[in-house]
A and B are shown apart, each in its own frame.
Chain A
Amino acid sequence: MTRPLPKTSREYDVETLRRDFPILTKTVHGRKLVYLDNAASAQKPKQVLDAMTTFMTEEYANVHRGVHFLSAVATERYEAARARMQAFVGAAHEDEIIYTHGGTEAINLVASSFLAPRIEPGDEIVLSVMEHHSNIVPWHFLRERLGAVLKWVNVSEEGDLDPQDVARAIGPKTKMVAITHMSNVLGTRTALKEIVRLAHEKGVPVLADGCQGAVHGRVDVKDLDVDFYVMTGHKLYGPTGIGILYGKRAHLKAMRPYQGGGEMIRVVTRDNVTYADPPMRFEAGTPPIVETVGLAAALGYMESVGREAMAAHENALARKAEAGLRALNGVKLIGEAKDKGPIVSFETIGIHAHDLATILDREGVAVRAGHHCAQVLMDRFDVPATARASFALYNTEEEVDALIAAVQVARKVFS
């Protein structure tokens, strides 16, 4: 993490960066690995692996529970990671950063601790049709259990989401807007700041699912003025088992705990319990300590590469891939929004996405095929499944060429 790194895309040295990712030298089926399934999970740089190994070999103990030396060191590292995450999203206060076990848990936490106590039967939650199941199902729980009503905002044929459509979906009974910052299928980046402004005009809080959005560009929750912002560690080049929930301090303070256990209490007696303040109130039990250190290292790595430079590089690859796919007959892109990240979903006419992905895999090219945990969106576009190539900071132009060539192989098989 000490390497001085270029900040402009012209100087972006992808070959040097690739050396940080040991797995990228792998071969699969005798071919050079071309890993284009980054939206599902990103590979890890050795800076992250080293940080976790060093922490476990030299500094590890449980946190917030001992007076001994290692516990103090581990606690310090654990809390220092929080400051790193605060800076990463531009939060005003460190106690606005809650560690969770993933993006999914973060959204469930908000649904259960923030929204559930406010729901009366008939109250509404506004969602877009391009949400990931983890930003749908927790709200379905409130529908099933409390009689909440889900209101769906459509996207255009290109995959654009009009903030005015969100505003129009908000009624007097709307209690929450839950919207993605970037679709994991279409790649659409939503006009989050505008959506938040419109929702706040009507007094409605907004949760943004930043599991993809935070990977591909700078996030400033103060500027966005968003109430909750969710991220998941493993897509940010960090380990699995850790996620981040940003929440405005005033909301968090007013929220009931999510899970009960150690570390989240102030006093427990036979008859009563009082709770710790945020963030501890929401971090019951032994947290993902090692993962927290790993994620902090990952975010540091992203900052050192330069988040704008990364995003510019990734977007250039995605646009090249789209051009290459468009040039092939019988390939249809799903998602051509005006503001789009490096996620490219497509259909090959006459070839099911799973057959395509199997053939691509044998060419060394890893893509995702399926509904991408977005069945509502698949219904919207009336497709059973799509193939998806998604780009990361370490992908190259040659890998885009390999993708296009592999799609042509598949077309030959099925011709």
Chain B
Amino acid sequence: MDADLRELYQEIILDHSRHPRHFGALADANHVAEGYNPLCGDKVKIYLKLDDADRIADIAFEGKGCAISVASASLMSEMLKGRSTEEAEQLLSGFLHLVKGEDASDLEEDDKEHLAVMAGVSAFPMRVKCATLAWHAMKAAIDGEESAKSE
């Protein structure tokens, strides 16, 4: 099998896609948004519970999609809990750079390490949207929109 593929479908990604973290609805969410990719039909719904200080007190997601989109959402949910919305948006920006194969030096070292498993997506331009779907929905949720605008 080719090296790019092995990088894309590495064990951590497969594990997140099979056992997504924070999967399900969040009853006390106060910010909810959907992401939909009309090209492939993938759907994700992001639930955020923001506290008074605009921190992500809790996060969950549900949806249907390919391994890349589910793993990406799962990974995101792990990383965002406890962060401020401002930090979340910064992370989004760094993540977008990473999966597009651009300079991701705006990511903190820790975050970069954590997200490195997603970097393989950059070798598959047709799949970048799968990886970013949940992230755009997360941003829409923070902004109080119902659905993510497709790029």
Q: Is B9 an interface residue (CB 8 A)?
A: yes
A378 nearest CB neighbor, chain B only: B41
A359 touches B5 (CB 8 A): yes
B66 touches A355 (CB 8 A): yes
- Residues facing B in A352-378 (CB within 8 A) are 352-355, 358-359, 362, 369-371, 375, 378
Cα A352 to Cα B70 with chains together (Å): 11
Q: Is A22 an interface residue (CB 8 A)?
A: no
A370 nearest CB neighbor, chain B only: B40
Instruction: Annotate A7-42 by CB proximity to B: 1 below 8 A, 0 otherwise.
Output: 000000000000000000000011000000000000
- Interface class of chain B by DSSP: mixed
Q: Is A413 an interface residue (CB 8 A)?
A: yes
| Minimal beta-carbon separation of A379 from chain B (angstroms) | 10
Cα A412 to Cα B5 with chains together (Å): 12
Q: Is B14 an interface residue (CB 8 A)?
A: yes
Q: Which of B8, B41, B127 contacts A375 (CB 8 A)?
A: B41
Which residues of B lie under 8 Å from residue A412 when comparing CB positions?
1
Cα A362 to Cα B123 with chains together (Å): 11
Cα A413 to Cα B126 with chains together (Å): 19
B124 touches A358 (CB 8 A): yes
Which residues of B lie under 8 Å from residue A30 when comparing CB positions?
2
| Minimal beta-carbon separation of A375 from chain B (angstroms) | 7
B63 nearest CB neighbor, chain A only: A384
Cα A412 to Cα B1 with chains together (Å): 10
Q: Is B86 an interface residue (CB 8 A)?
A: no
Q: Is B145 an interface residue (CB 8 A)?
A: no
A358 touches B2 (CB 8 A): no
| Minimal beta-carbon separation of B125 from chain A (angstroms) | 11
Q: Is A302 an interface residue (CB 8 A)?
A: no
| Minimal beta-carbon separation of A259 from chain B (angstroms) | 27
Instruction: Annotate A377-391 by CB proximity to B: 1 below 8 A, 0 otherwise.
Output: 010000011000000
| Minimal beta-carbon separation of B34 from chain A (angstroms) | 15
B43 nearest CB neighbor, chain A only: A384
Cα A29 to Cα B126 with chains together (Å): 15
Q: Is A69 an interface residue (CB 8 A)?
A: no
Q: Which of A370, A371, A409 contacts B1 (CB 8 A)?
A: A409
Cα A355 to Cα B68 with chains together (Å): 8
Which residues of A lie under 8 Å from residue B9 when comparing CB positions?
355, 359, 413-414
A362 touches B67 (CB 8 A): no
A contact set with B: CB distance below 8 Å: 29-30, 351-355, 358-359, 362, 369-371, 375, 378, 384-385, 409, 412-414
Across chains A and B, which 7 residue pairs bring their CB atoms closest together, nearest first?
A: A352-B66, A354-B66, A384-B41, A371-B41, A355-B67, A355-B66, A370-B40
B contact set with A: CB distance below 8 Å: 1-2, 4-5, 8-9, 14, 39-43, 64-68, 124, 126-127, 130
